[in-house]
Each structure stands twice: as structure tokens, then as C-alpha cells.
Amino acid sequence: MKTITKLNKSFYERMFCYIIGLLIMSVGSNLFLKAALGVAPSCTIALALSEIFPSHSYAVFNFLVNSFLLLCEIAVVKKVEKKQAVQLALTFLYSLFIQWTAGPLRFITADTMIARVVLSFAACAVLATGISFTVNSGFAVLPMEGFVSSLSQKTGKPFGTIRVYTEISITIISGIVSIICLGNISVVGIGTVIAAVCTGTITNLLSRFFTRGFLLSRTAA
């Protein structure tokens, strides 16, 4: 009974850590939007669609794009599993958080290019912090990671390589769609480059502290 209680506690702790990570990630996503210099590569298509169809929010298109990636994952593995239902639920929650956290951040403004660049770096740091929470919780993955992981296993190529190819493809598609429909390429900018270059590095640095913290908590338990 004691063992089951510990397992349940571990499960709920990991789930709580993951949800907190999604909340922090949503703040980072909205900070990128406030900076208006582009968003993370995997989010560029959602931003492009939100500008083409302004009657629907960025959060809505974020959910739709991730749902499409989930369908791509299912197509690769050729089966529907329980974990994919979890991914869909987490995607909905993440999109909901993006919608909720947009309001409290309305007071943030960036009127100069320097301020916008600084805000983009801040957004990157916040996003990486949220990602660190989710990754180190070991609870689940969002559809983007699920699709890349399934494609990596299918092709035998490294996860990181597939992730880079996928993000580059999404960014190129977003730029083309933006140019055709909006006449500009505003969805891809300095902020996109900052996110692409810095997010992984910051996440790796923070992961060391998370790993050490989880090991200490488990030792104490």
C-alpha cells in the first residue's frame, strides 16, 4: 500500500510539474507576441494563420496546428494510443493557458527595436524555463515532440536532426504563406532566430538543476 501511495504521489507530482511548465510556456509565447519580432519556429504557422484570419485567436490556431501534428504522428505510427489522447488534452490545456495569460500581459509594451529584442530574449528564457519543467517531469510530450519522436524511430535518424528539419520546414511554409496572404514575412523575424538558437541551450542548462533537484527529492523520499 505504501508503494502504491508513493507511485501515485510521484505521478501527481510529475503531472503538476508538467502543468506548471505549460503555464510558464504560455507566458513565454505571449511575450514573443508582445515583442512582435516573430515567434518560436514551431509556432510560426499558428501566428501566420491568426494574422490571416484575425477573427480567431493565436491560441485557437496553436491548438489546431498541434492537433494536425498529432494526426501526423498517428499516421506515422499507424495506430491510436492512449498517450495520444493525453497529448490532445495537454494541447488543449496549453492553448487555454495562452488565451488566459494574454490578458494579464497587456500592460507590457515594447516601442523601440532594442526593447523588442530584449523582450524576445526574455520570452525565450521564460519559454525555455517552461520547457524544462515539462521535459524533466517525464510526464508526457506535446504533439510536436510526439511527431518528431515517432518520425525519428521510423527513419532511424536522431531526434535532434528530425526536430531541426521539422522546424525549418514549418518556418519556410509559414514564411511562404505569410508572403502570399499578407504580403510580408512578419511571422518570421529576429525573435524566431533567438528562439531557435537560444531555447535549446537555456533548456539544457536549466535541466541540470531540475535533474539534481529530482534526484535530491527522491533520495529524501
> Residue 201 CB: number of other CB atoms within 10 A?
11
Phi then psi for residue 86, to 5 deg, are -65, -40
- Indicate the pLDDT class of residue 7, thresholds 50, 70 and 90: very low
- Indicate the pLDDT class of residue 80, thresholds 50, 70 and 90: confident
At 151-210, the pLDDT tens digits run 888 888 888 788 888 888 999 999 999 999 989 888 888 899 888 888 877 877 777 776
Asked if residue 147 lies in contact with residue 83, where contact means CB atoms within 8 angstroms, the answer is no
pLDDT at 161: 83
**HSE of 73 in the Cβ direction (CA atoms, 13 Å)?**
24
pLDDT of 49 > 70? The answer is yes
pLDDT at 213: 53
Contacts for 158 with CB less than 8 Å, ≥ 6 apart: 152
At 108-123, the pLDDT tens digits run 888 899 999 999 999 9
